[in-house]
């Protein structure tokens, strides 16, 4: 990782990206002063960067208040498109949702958060809004536990030292000993359960998606409303379908990785 002292570190780019990440689900409209406070940048610098981003189409302003535009989605969807995650997972997620009648999503780790990269929702009211790009603290989610369980102790310690950028305070924040115990169970089972840890009313179960080497590269879940679906029903009815779906996606992902990649220099 590049450090600020490195001659290859571009401070202006870092500052511009910090402006974009200053916005969050709980701070969708910010003034230049707000952005300066959230990024620790001088207000004149924050204002110039906001005006630059506005010129490029990533933010818009009205009476001194700035909001992100949908062009910001291009930054995330480009990443997703390069991996082919959504295109590969979508039919499987849709089939799973058709069978369970419950929402299903896929996420990857980013620091100490999970970030949603694919989702097929059903029209049910839950406590938290979820969409592609949503971040939640990994320690409070079933998908997070699945992916954290694949890390070494040192990797886990380093990850947990990274502050969450989700803006969400989980209902249950486990101690390190409690987390280690939970991850040991998830590692042994091959799946993880979160029973209203993130928020009241949200119950989910998750399974891993692996690459050709066997490493966990993503997790997928089935999410239910706790008042409608018991833990027993979630495990008895939905878990087998979830594990089957995750295995299918893993198989396709593995097969895709084995395909020869054509050399663009040899094309006519």
**Residue 254 clears pLDDT 70, i.e. is over it:** yes
Is the torsion defined by CA of 77, 63, 130, 35 positive or negative?
positive
Question: Please, what is the Cα angle at 13 between 8 and 14, to 5 degrees?
Answer: 85
Nearest to 133 by CA among 54, 192, 70: 70
On the 0-12 / 13-18 / 19+ scale of CB atoms within 10 A, 45 is middle
Which pLDDT belongs to residue 83? 59
Distance CA 1, CA 239 (A): 38
In terms of pTM, does the model score above 0.85? no
Q: How many CA atoms, within 13 angstroms, populate the side-chain half-sphere of residue 65?
A: 6
**Contact yes or no for 170/198 (Cβ under 8 A):** yes
- Tens of pLDDT along 135-172? 999 999 999 999 999 999 999 999 999 999 888 899 98
Is residue 164 within 8 Å of residue 89, measured between CB atoms?
no
Q: What is the pLDDT of residue 247?
A: 95
């Amino acid at each position: 990782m590049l450090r600020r002292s490195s001659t290859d570190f571009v401070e202006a780019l870092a500052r511009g990206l910090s402006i974009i990440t200053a916005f969050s689900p709980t701070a969708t409209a910010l003034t230049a002063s707000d952005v300066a406070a959230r990024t620790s940048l001088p207000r004149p610098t924050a204002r110039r960067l906001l005006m630059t981003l506005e010129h490029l189409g990533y933010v818009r302003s009205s009476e001194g208040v700035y909001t992100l535009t949908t062009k910001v989605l291009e930054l995330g969807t480009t990443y997703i498109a390069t991996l082919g995650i959504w295109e590969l997972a979508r039919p499987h997620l849709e089939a799973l949702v058709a069978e369970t009648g419950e929402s299903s999503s896929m996420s990857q780790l980013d620091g100490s958060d999970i970030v949603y990269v694919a989702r097929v929702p059903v029209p049910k009211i839950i406590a938290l809004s979820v969409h592609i790009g949503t971040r939640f603290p990994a320690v409070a989610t079933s998908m997070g536990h699945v992916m954290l369980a694949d890390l070494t102790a040192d990797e886990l310690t380093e990850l947990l030292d990274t502050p969450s950028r989700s803006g969400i305070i989980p209902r249950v924040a486990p101690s390190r000993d409690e987390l280690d115990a939970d991850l040991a169970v998830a590692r042994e089972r091959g799946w993880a359960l979160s029973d209203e840890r993130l928020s009241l009313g949200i119950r989910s179960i998750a399974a891993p998606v692996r690459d050709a080497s066997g490493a966990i590269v993503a997790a997928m879940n089935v999410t239910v409303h706790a008042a409608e679906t018991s833990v027993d029903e979630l495990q008895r009815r939905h878990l087998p379908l979830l594990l089957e779906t995750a295995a299918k996606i893993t198989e396709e992902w593995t097969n895709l990785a084995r395909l020869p990649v054509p050399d663009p220099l040899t094309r006519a």
